[in-house]
């Protein structure tokens, strides 16, 4: 089973905000982080000290064919 973490990023323009994302994400168990409202316009590939890798590619949104949100919450 894969666990996906969603994060409302608002902006990941600064290194401090990227570090904050990783600090918050470490508090939960996840396999993939899905970012929303991302305002970063250039790619990023960062590897953190404990082996976590963060890869952001803004252009990938143009490649998205279909999104099927699902929720078990009522």
- Over residues 24-54, the pLDDT tens digits come to 777 877 777 777 666 666 677 777 666 667 6
Of 41, 54, 40, 35, which Cα lies nearest the Cα of 11?
40
Of 72, 74, 67, which Cα lies nearest the Cα of 34?
67
Of 36, 45, 43, which Cα lies nearest the Cα of 58?
43
Domain boundaries, the chain: 4-63
User: pTM score, two decimals?
Assistant: 0.46
Tokens 């919450």 found at: 73
Average pLDDT over residues 47-70: 62
How many angstroms separate the CA atoms of 64 and 27, rounded? 29
């Amino acid at each position: 089973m894969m666990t996906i973490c969603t994060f409302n990023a608002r902006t990941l323009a600064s290194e401090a905000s990227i570090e904050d994302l990783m600090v918050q994400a470490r508090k939960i168990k996840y396999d993939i982080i899905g970012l929303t409202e991302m305002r970063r316009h250039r790619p990023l590939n960062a590897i953190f000290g404990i082996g976590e890798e963060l890869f952001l590619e803004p252009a990938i949104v143009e490649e998205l064919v279909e999104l099927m949100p699902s929720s078990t919450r009522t």
